């Protein structure tokens, strides 16, 4: 299988950073190096260890993620009992322990049957969300700072790995984050998680002075982590004491109860797993929703075609979602142009040959899928939002392997365990919003990098009633 993709090889820590740049993803630098050097780029280490501890190669049963920035220090501090047990979860674990946690904590999250059981409850959540949108519009039908509302619906329904679910999915209950008058807890939690990602980005891309003393960015990481740990831990404790009363539907309870009853794990490991499933989901799901709405707002013909497909889907079911080809195409095209995660990283245990280059064991390999998705070698007119390219018979895909480029949840065994849920929820929310409203956006949406791609600046959408 041949795909034109940039593979960046890093011994210990990325050396490319620009302190003056607001775009910390450095995609302009990476793209320039790709054009000048080729698809295999060797980035030497700076201020790092000579080798990272590796666990397993990319296709193996226990694939390792590179531990960059302050994460290795968090892991160390957890191991000596000086930091919250949040970092004992699946995100920062490696090897045998990672495999144990993943196999015990995630089966319900990856089950297609479980996701179908959630549809009725998620349908009600989306109904409440569209009602909230209708009530919060100003006189011009505009909602200012829509990102705050997107965070609320992520809190009410979502999960992680890179994304997944909090209340309905993980805790088996709704906590009222979509209540018009209830926003303090939701705002605190969303703000803490966002700050954690930004501070992690700042330590990752800046000079690593945090290794010598506690820099401002390092302090922000610790403070924000403690904030969202305390909030989520409290929610988990309440849900644990009310386990049998959380939700009437067995399917809704299944994820939470499966974690609580997981054999061989202590309470803090179970709690850590739940926190992992919550934190990244707030950013990932909400950002993906905003990007989707933005593309449709800027492409009214695509929005109209989508409306014609979903307008008669009064009760959205698993079967109706499967049959909505254009809905799937819109979501996939948005993932291609603006994925929440712009690259995939793994650490090699064994030597590997890529495009004629020998990559030694111990190398951190970063596959820049976002750049590959915008390369003319892989897609015709790659900068255009054109959902039709994903419909049968389209000639807009330059490679038959294009489906392997659009992987916003990662791939392989370390793929986001909440992939099914987030993908299903994005389709459901988008269908419901387009049924109810014509969506408009004035101007262009900026971008900023917070380890996930995120909208930059105010996000103001206009929602005009269709009926």
Q: Residue 439: phi, psi to the nearest 5?
A: -100, 135
Give the Cα-Cα-Cα angle 401, 407, 413 (nearest 5 degrees).
105
Give the separation between CA 463 and CA 149, rounded to whole angstroms. 14
Q: Residue 373 annotated as binding? A: no
DSSP annotation of 24 reads: T
Q: Specify the DSSP element, H or E, that contains 40.
A: strand 40-43
Residues whose CB falls within 8 Å of the CB of residue 233, separated by 6 or more in sequence, listed in order: 271, 275
412 vs 35: CA distance, rounded Å? 28
Give the 3-state secondary structure of 369-404. HHHHHCCCCCECCCCCCCHHHHCCCCCCECCCCHHH
Distance (Å, whole) CA 115 – CA 111 = 7
Helix and strand counts by DSSP (H, E) for the chain? 14, 11
Q: Give the Å distances, CA to CA, from 36 to 30, 388, 466.
A: 10, 32, 50
Q: How far is CA 446 from CA 23, 449, 460, in A?
A: 11, 10, 12
Residue 318: which H helix or E strand, with range?
helix 318-323
Q: Is 460 exposed, middle or buried (0-12, 13-18, 19+ CB in 10 A)?
A: middle
Give the distance, in angstroms, between the CA of residue 257 and the centroid of all CA atoms in the same chain: 24
The alpha helices in 158-266, defined as continuous H runs, are 184-205, 216-241, 250-260
Please report which helix (H) or strand (E) contains residue 114, including its range.
helix 112-136
As beta bridge partners, residue 347 has 64, 364
Collapsing DSSP states into helix, strand and coil, what is residue 218? helix
Residue 365's DSSP bridge partners are: 9, 346
Instruction: Cite the annotated binding site for heme by residue number.
Output: 416
Annotated binding site: 416
């Amino acid at each position: 299988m041949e795909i034109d993709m940039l593979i960046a090889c890093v011994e210990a820590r990325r050396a490319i950073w620009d302190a003056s740049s607001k775009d910390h993803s450095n995609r302009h630098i990476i793209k320039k190096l790709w054009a000048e050097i080729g698809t295999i780029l060797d980035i030497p280490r700076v201020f790092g260890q000579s080798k990272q501890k590796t666990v397993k190669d990319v296709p193996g049963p226990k694939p390792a993620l590179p531990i960059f920035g302050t994460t290795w220090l968090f892991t160390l501090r957890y191991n000596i009992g000086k930091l919250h047990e949040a970092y004992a979860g699946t995100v920062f674990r490696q090897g045998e322990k990672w495999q144990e946690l993943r196999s015990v904590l995630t089966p319900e999250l990856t089950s297609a049957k479980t996701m179908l059981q959630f549809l009725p409850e998620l349908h009600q959540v989306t109904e409440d969300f569209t009602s909230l949108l209708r009530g919060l519009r100003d006189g011009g039908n505009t909602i200012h700072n829509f990102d705050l509302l997107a965070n609320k619906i992520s809190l009410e329904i979502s999960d992680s790995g890179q994304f997944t679910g909090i209340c309905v999915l993980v805790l088996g209950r709704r906590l009222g984050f979509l209540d018009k008058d209830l926003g303090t807890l939701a705002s605190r939690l969303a703000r803490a998680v966002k700050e954690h990602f930004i501070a992690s980005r700042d330590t990752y891309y800046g000079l690593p002075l945090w290794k010598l003393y506690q820099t401002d960015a390092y302090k922000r990481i610790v403070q924000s982590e403690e904030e969202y740990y305390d909030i989520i831990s409290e929610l988990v404790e309440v849900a644990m004491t009310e386990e049998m009363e959380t939700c009437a539907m067995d399917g809704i309870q299944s994820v939470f109860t499966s974690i609580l009853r997981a054999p061989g794990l202590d309470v803090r490991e179970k709690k850590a797993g739940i926190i992992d499933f919550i934190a990244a989901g707030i950013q990932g799901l909400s950002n993906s929703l905003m990007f989707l709405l933005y593309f449709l707002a800027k492409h009214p013909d695509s929005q109209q075609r989508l409306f014609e497909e979903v307008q008669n889907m009064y009760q959205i079911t698993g079967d109706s979602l499967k049959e909505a080809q254009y809905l799937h195409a819109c979501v996939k095209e948005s993932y291609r142009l603006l994925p929440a995660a712009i690259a995939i990283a793994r650490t090699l245990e064994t030597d590997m040959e890529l495009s004629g280059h020998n990559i030694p064991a111990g190398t951190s390999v970063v596959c820049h899928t976002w750049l590959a998705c915008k390369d003319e070698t892989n897609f015709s007119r790659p900068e255009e939002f054109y959902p039709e390219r994903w419909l049968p018979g389209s000639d807009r895909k330059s490679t038959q392997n294009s489906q392997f480029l659009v992987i916003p949840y990662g791939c392989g065994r370390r793929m986001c365990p909440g992939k099914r849920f987030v993908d299903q929820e994005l389709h459901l929310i988008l269908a419901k919003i387009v049924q109810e409203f014509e969506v408009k956006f004035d101007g262009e949406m900026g971008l900023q990098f917070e380890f996930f791609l995120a909208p930059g600046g105010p996000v103001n959408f206009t929602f005009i009633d269709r009926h």
